[in-house]
C-alpha cells in the first residue's frame, strides 16, 4: 500500500534542504534524462528563486512526502521511509530508496539512488548521504552533479562544513556529454582536481592541483585556480590572454583584466607590450540599467620605436555609443567614433564596415501620430585623400548641427484619406567650404482606393516649401545668399494585379503606372547640394513620385513611370519575382548629375529578378541598363547554391562610370564564400574578395577551419589582406594573417593572433 504522510519540519526540512552546490547552476528538467544507470530521475524543478540567497520563507514551508512505507520505531526513536521516497519542500525535491531520521542523534541518512533537485534546477546524485539536523555538517559518497547547461561534476566523496562551504575530494568537471557508443570513454576534455571547494558565502569555486585533460591525456596543470560560481553573473579577475602580431608592431600579448564596478557597470583593461618596445592599452567600459545602456571602447598606443613610417607615433581611437529612455515618449543617445590616423585601426586589428567614422548625438520623441528627432553629425574619412603637391583642400568634413526631423500622420477620414506633414531642418558648417542653413517641409494628402474589380489606386497631392541660407557657396563667391521655393505636386499610382490559381501554384501579373506632375524649376544654383549627390535610379524608386535622394535636389515636371511585376509561388517553396520599369519625362532632369538614369527623356531601364527553384538555390539580380543601347550601367548579383553541408555564396557588383567627366571610375567587385560541412563537428570555409576589370587586384582571401561540439570549439583562420593606405609617402599593407581561437565552453576562450 502506498502511504502519504507528513513529517515534522525539523526532521524532513533538514533532509531535503541539503544539496551539494559544488557549482550551483540552473539545470533544465530534461537534463535529468542523462542520469547514469541505477539513478532515479528527478522530477522537474520548481521555478528558480534569486540565486545565491536562501529564502527564509522556504524554510518555513510545509514538507510533503510520499513513500511506499513509513515506519516509526519508538524503541530506537527513528523514522524510516522506504520505497520510492519523494519529499518536497520549498522548491527542493529529494528522491531516494530509503530515508531514515534518527530523532535522538538528529542525523538524517538517505541511501539508494539519492537525488536532490534544487529550486535553481541543478540536480545532485549520490549513493549515500548523511547530514546533521542543523545541516551544518554533511558527508556524501559517489557524488554526481548535473547542471543546467548539461555540464557535469563528479567526486569520490564530499563533506559540508559550517553550513556554508562544500568540499569535494578527487573531483572531475566537464561540459562534454558522455560518448553514446562507449560511456566509459574519456570526454574530449575534463578538469581533474585533487580538491574542489565551493564557498557559498563568497560564491567562489576553488580548484587545488588541477589538470586539464584532452581525450584522457593531461595537457595543462595549475596548482590553484578559482572562479565565481554561476550564481554570480560577473566577477572581477583576469581574462584569457590573446596574441597580436603584424609587421608594424611585431608580436604582443594582451592580458585583459575585468573589474566589476557595481551591478550596472564594469570595465576591462587590456595592456600590451610588443616585441618592438611599443606599449598599448585597450579599455572597454560597459553600463546597463533598466532605462538603457552604454558602451565605450578606447585604446591608446605609444609606437615609440618605429611607428608607421619609422618615426615615434602616439595613436588612439574611441568607439562609444549609448541609448537611454528618458520617459515613455523620449529617448536620448549618442555615437562617438574617432581615430588618430588612418593606419591605427588596421594595425591593431579593428575592422570598420564603412569607410568613415561617425559622431552623432540625438534626442527622439515617439508619439501616437508623430515622430521627432533632434540630432547632430560629424564624420571622419578613412579613405586616403591624395592632393597635388602644394594644393590645399577646398572643403572640410561638415559638422551638421542641429538636424531636426518631424513627421506627422493624421487619422483616416470618411473615405480613407489622411494627411501627412514632414519637416526637416539642418545647419551645415565647415571651417573651409560652404556653410548653409535650411528648412524643408512637405504637406500631403493621401487617398488609397481599391476598386471592386481589384484595381489599386493611390492618389497623393502635396506642397513642398523650402528655405535656404548659404554663404561661401563657391570658392569664388563668399557672400551670403538666400533661396526659397514652393513646389506643388500631384501623383497617382495605379496597379491591376491579375492572379491565376493552380493546383500547386499561384501566378500574379501586375501592370504598374505612376503619373506625377509638378511645375518645372526649384533647383536653383543658390541651393547647395549637400544630401542629393548619391542619387541613382533603381527598381526601388522608379515608381516613386519623388525618386531623388535627400532634400536639396528635386525631380520636377510631368513624369510617367510604367512597368510590370510577375510573381509565381509554388507549394513546394519554389518562387520567382520579376520586375521591369522605365519612366518618361518631357524634359531631362539636367540638375541631377549626368549618368544617374534620369538625364534623358526616356530613363534607363531598371529591374530585378529573384527566383528560387528549390530551397538550395537562391538567386537575386538587380540591374540598370541604358535606354539607347541596352548597355549595363549597374549589376548586382547575390546567389546561394547548395545545402548547408556544401554551400557557395557569391556576390557580384558592377557600377559603370556615370559620365566621362565623373571623378569616379567604373567599379567591379566579386566576393565568394564556399562552406563545406565535412562531418557533424568539422567544417571549413574558403572566402575571397577581389576587384575586377581594369584595376583587377585581390583584396582578401583566406581559409577557415572550424571544429565545434557541445563543449569545445577551435577555429583556425589564415589568409591575406591587401588593403593599402598611403602613410607619409609609404605604403602600409595588412599582409598575411593567422588567427587561432580555442574555446572550452563554460571555462573560457583563448584567442591567438599568430601573425
Model confidence pLDDT, tens digit, residues 737-751:
788 888 888 777 777
* C-alpha cell recorded at residue 528: 547647395
**What is the average pLDDT across 220-244?**
79
* 705 pLDDT more than 90: yes
- Which is higher by pLDDT, 582 or 245? 582
pLDDT digits (tens, 9 = 90+) for 297-352: 999 998 876 666 666 788 899 999 999 999 999 999 999 999 998 888 888 878 78
Cα gap 154→141, rounded to integer Å: 10
Cell numbers describing residue 373: 528627432
The answer to whether 754 and 741 are in contact (CB under 8 A) is no
The pLDDT value given to residue 305 = 63
Average pLDDT over residues 562-588: 91
Cα 15 → chain centroid: 46
Q: What is the pTM of this model?
A: 0.73
Cα–Cα distance measured from residue 530 to residue 533, given in angstroms and rounded to the nearest whole number? 7
Q: In this model, does residue 41 exceed pLDDT 60? A: no
Closest CA to 166 of 137, 127, 126, 193: 137
pLDDT of 473 reads 84
Burial classification of residue 201, based on how many CB atoms lie within 10 Å of its CB (0-12 exposed, 13-18 middle, 19 or more buried): exposed
For position 617, what pLDDT does the model report?
92
Element (H, E) at 397: none
pLDDT of residue 432: 82
Say if residue 561's pLDDT is above 80.
yes
Tens digits of residue pLDDT in 375-432? 999 999 887 665 455 545 556 788 999 999 999 999 998 889 999 999 999 999 987 8
| Residue 134 pLDDT > 60 | no
User: How many Å apart are CA 1 and CA 48, to the nearest integer?
Assistant: 34
DSSP state for residue 523 in the 8-state scheme:
-
CA angle (753, 221, 272) in 5-degree steps: 30
Q: Where are the alpha helices (DSSP H) in 80-239?
A: none
Cβ distance 750 to 254 under 8 Å?
A: no
Selected from 2.60.450.10, 3.10.20.30, 3.40.640.10, 3.40.50.1970, the CATH number assigned to the domain covering 3-228 reads 2.60.450.10
pLDDT at 619 exceeding the cut of 50? yes
Question: Which pLDDT score is estimated for 35?
Answer: 38
- pLDDT band, very low/low/confident/very high, at 110 (cuts 50, 70, 90): confident
Contacts of 63 (CB under 8 A, 6+ apart): 6, 7, 9, 12, 13, 16, 87, 88, 89
Which of the four pLDDT bands, split at 50, 70 and 90, describes residue 470? Answer: very high
Q: What percent of the chain has pLDDT over 90?
A: 38
Helix/strand/coil for 665: coil
pLDDT, residue 755, reads 61
Q: How far apart are CA 164 and CA 200, in angstroms?
A: 5
Strand partners, 660: none
CB contact at 8 A, 510 and 494: no
Please, are residues 621 and 609 in contact by the beta-carbon 8 Å criterion?
A: yes
Conformational region of residue 177, where left means phi above 0, alpha means psi within -120 to 50, and beta covers everything else:
beta
Helix (H) or strand (E) holding 246: strand 242-246
238: cell is 583576469
| pLDDT tens-digit map of 47-81 | 333 444 444 444 456 678 889 988 888 888 888 98
Give the three-state DSSP class for 623.
Answer: strand
Average pLDDT, the chain: 82
The CA distances from residue 726 to 309, 342, 354, 384, 395, in Å, are: 10, 9, 18, 7, 21
3 pLDDT more than 70: no
Strand partners for 429: 399
Q: Residue range 636-662: average pLDDT?
A: 88
Q: For 716-720, what is the mean pLDDT?
A: 87
CA dist 301 and 280 (Å) reads 4
Q: Are 313 and 307 in contact (CB under 8 A)?
A: yes
What are the boundaries of each domain within the chain? 3-228, 234-351, 632-755
More confident residue, 654 or 136: 654
Q: Is the pLDDT of residue 230 over 70?
A: no
> Which position has the higher pLDDT, 47 or 620?
620
Report phi then psi at 406, rounded to 5.
-140, 135
List of residues 6+ apart from 574 with CB closer than 8 A: 505, 612, 613, 614
Tens of pLDDT, residues 438-451: 999 999 999 999 99
Residue 714 has what pLDDT? 92
Residue 472 clears pLDDT 50, i.e. is over it: yes
Is there a cis peptide before residue 288, judged by omega within 30 degrees of 0?
no
pLDDT digits (tens, 9 = 90+) for 353-373: 888 899 999 999 999 999 999
| Contact between 505 and 549 (Cβ < 8 Å) | no
CB atoms within 10 A of CB 206: 17
Quote the CA–CA distance of 250 and 246 in Å, as a whole number: 5
Q: How far, rounded to the nearest angstrom, does the alpha carbon of residue 634 sit from its chain's CA centroid?
A: 31
DSSP assignment of 295-346 equals EEEEEEEEE-SSTTTSS-EEEEEEEEEEEEE-SSSEEEEEEEEEESSTTHHH
Dihedral sign of CA atoms 37, 39, 41, 45 in order: negative
CB 495 within 8 A of CB 456: yes
Amino acid at each position: 500500500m502506498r502511504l502519504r504522510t507528513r513529517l515534522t519540519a525539523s526532521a524532513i526540512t533538514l533532509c531535503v534542504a541539503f544539496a551539494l552546490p559544488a557549482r550551483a547552476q540552473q539545470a533544465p528538467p530534461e537534463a535529468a534524462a542523462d542520469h547514469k544507470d541505477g539513478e532515479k530521475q528527478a522530477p522537474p524543478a520548481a521555478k528558480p528563486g534569486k540565486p545565491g540567497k536562501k529564502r527564509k520563507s522556504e524554510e518555513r514551508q510545509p514538507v510533503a512526502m510520499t513513500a511506499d512505507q513509513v515506519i516509526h520505531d519508538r524503541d530506537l526513536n527513528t523514522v524510516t521511509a522506504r520505497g520510492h521516497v519523494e519529499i518536497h519542500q520549498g522548491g527542493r525535491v529529494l528522491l531516494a530508496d530509503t530515508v531514515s531520521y534518527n530523532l535522538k542523534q538528529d542525523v538524517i541518512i538517505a541511501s539508494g539512488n539519492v537525488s536532490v533537485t534544487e529550486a535553481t534546477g541543478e540536480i545532485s546524485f549520490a549513493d549515500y548521504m548523511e547530514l546533521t539536523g542543523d545541516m551544518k555538517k554533511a558527508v556524501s559518497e559517489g557524488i554526481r552533479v548535473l547542471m543546467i547547461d548539461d555540464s557535469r561534476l563528479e567526486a569520490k566523496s564530499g563533506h559540508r562544513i559550517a553550513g556554508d562551504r562544500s568540499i569535494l575530494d578527487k573531483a572531475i568537471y566537464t561540459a562534454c556529454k558522455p560518448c553514446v557508443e562507449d560511456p566509459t570513454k574519456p570526454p574530449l576534455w575534463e578538469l581533474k582536481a585533487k580538491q574542489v571547494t565551493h564557498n557559498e558565502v563568497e560564491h567562489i569555486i576553488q580548484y587545488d592541483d588541477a589538470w586539464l585533460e584532452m581525450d584522457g591525456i593531461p595537457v595543462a596543470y595549475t596548482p590553484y585556480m578559482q572562479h565565481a560560481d554561476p550564481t554570480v553573473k560577473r566577477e572581477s579577475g583576469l581574462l584569457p590572454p590573446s596574441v597580436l602580431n603584424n609587421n608594424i608592431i611585431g608580436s604582443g600579448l594582451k592580458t585583459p583584466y575585468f573589474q566589476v564596478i557595481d551591478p550596472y557597470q564594469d570595465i576591462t583593461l587590456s595592456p600590451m607590450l610588443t616585441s618592438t618596445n611599443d606599449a598599448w592599452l585597450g579599455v572597454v567600459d560597459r553600463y546597463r540599467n533598466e532605462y538603457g545602456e552604454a558602451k565605450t571602447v578606447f585604446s591608446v598606443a605609444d609606437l615609440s620605436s618605429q611607428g608607421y613610417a619609422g618615426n615615434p607615433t602616439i595613436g588612439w581611437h574611441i568607439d562609444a555609443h549609448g541609448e537611454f529612455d528618458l520617459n515613455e515618449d523620449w529617448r536620448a543617445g549618442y555615437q562617438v567614433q574617432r581615430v588618430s590616423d588612418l593606419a591605427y585601426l588596421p594595425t591593431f586589428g579593428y575592422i570598420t564596415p564603412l569607410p568613415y567614422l561617425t559622431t552623432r548625438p540625438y534626442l527622439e520623441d515617439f508619439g501616437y501620430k508623430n515622430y521627432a528627432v533632434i540630432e547632430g553629425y560629424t564624420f571622419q574619412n578613412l579613405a586616403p585623400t591624395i592632393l597635388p603637391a602644394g594644393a590645399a583642400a577646398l572643403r572640410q568634413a561638415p559638422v551638421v548641427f542641429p538636424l531636426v526631423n518631424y513627421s506627422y500622420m493624421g487619422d483616416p477620414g470618411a473615405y480613407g484619406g489622411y494627411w501627412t506633414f514632414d519637416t526637416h531642418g539642418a545647419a551645415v558648417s565647415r571651417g573651409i567650404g560652404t556653410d548653409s542653413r535650411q528648412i524643408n517641409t512637405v504637406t500631403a494628402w493621401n487617398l488609397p482606393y481599391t476598386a471592386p474589380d481589384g484595381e489599386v489606386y493611390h492618389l497623393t497631392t502635396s506642397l513642398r516649401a523650402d528655405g535656404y541660407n548659404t554663404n561661401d557657396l563657391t570658392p569664388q563667391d563668399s557672400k551670403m545668399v538666400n533661396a526659397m521655393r514652393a513646389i506643388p505636386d500631384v501623383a497617382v499610382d495605379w496597379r491591376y494585379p491579375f492572379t491565376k490559381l493552380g493546383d500547386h501554384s499561384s501566378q500574379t501579373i501586375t501592370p504598374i503606372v505612376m503619373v506625377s506632375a509638378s511645375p518645372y524649376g526649384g533647383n536653383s544654383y543658390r541651393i547647395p547640394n549637400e544630401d542629393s549627390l548619391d542619387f541613382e535610379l533603381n527598381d526601388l524608386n522608379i515608381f516613386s513620385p519623388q525618386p531623388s535622394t535627400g532634400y536639396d535636389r528635386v525631380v520636377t515636371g510631368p513624369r510617367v513611370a510604367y512597368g510590370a511585376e510577375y510573381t509565381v509561388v509554388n507549394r513546394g517553396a519554389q518562387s520567382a519575382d520579376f520586375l521591369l520599369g522605365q519612366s518618361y519625362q518631357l524634359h531631362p532632369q539636367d540638375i541631377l548629375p549626368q549618368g544617374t538614369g534620369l538625364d534623358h527623356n526616356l530613363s534607363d531601364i531598371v529591374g530585378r529578378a529573384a527566383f528560387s527553384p528549390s530551397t538550395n538555390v537562391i538567386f537575386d539580380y538587380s540591374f540598370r541598363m541604358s535606354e539607347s543601347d541596352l548597355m549595363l550601367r549597374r549589376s548586382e548579383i547575390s546567389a546561394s547554391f547548395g545545402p548547408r553541408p556544401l554551400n557557395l555564396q557569391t556576390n557580384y557588383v558592377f557600377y559603370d562610370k556615370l559620365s566621362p567627366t565623373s571623378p569616379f571610375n567604373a567599379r567591379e567587385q566579386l566576393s565568394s564564400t564556399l562552406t563545406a560541412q565535412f562531418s557533424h563537428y568539422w567544417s571549413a570555409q574558403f572566402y575571397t574578395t577581389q576587384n575586377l576589370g581594369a584595376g583587377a587586384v585581390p583584396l582578401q582571401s583566406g581559409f577557415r577551419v572550424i571544429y565545434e561540439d557541445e563543449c569545445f570549439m577551435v577555429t583556425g583562420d589564415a589568409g591575406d589582406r591587401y588593403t593599402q593606405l598611403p602613410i607619409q609617402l609609404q605604403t602600409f599593407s595588412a599582409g598575411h594573417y593567422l588567427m587561432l581561437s580555442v574555446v572550452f565552453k563554460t571555462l573560457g576562450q583563448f584567442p591567438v593572433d599568430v601573425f
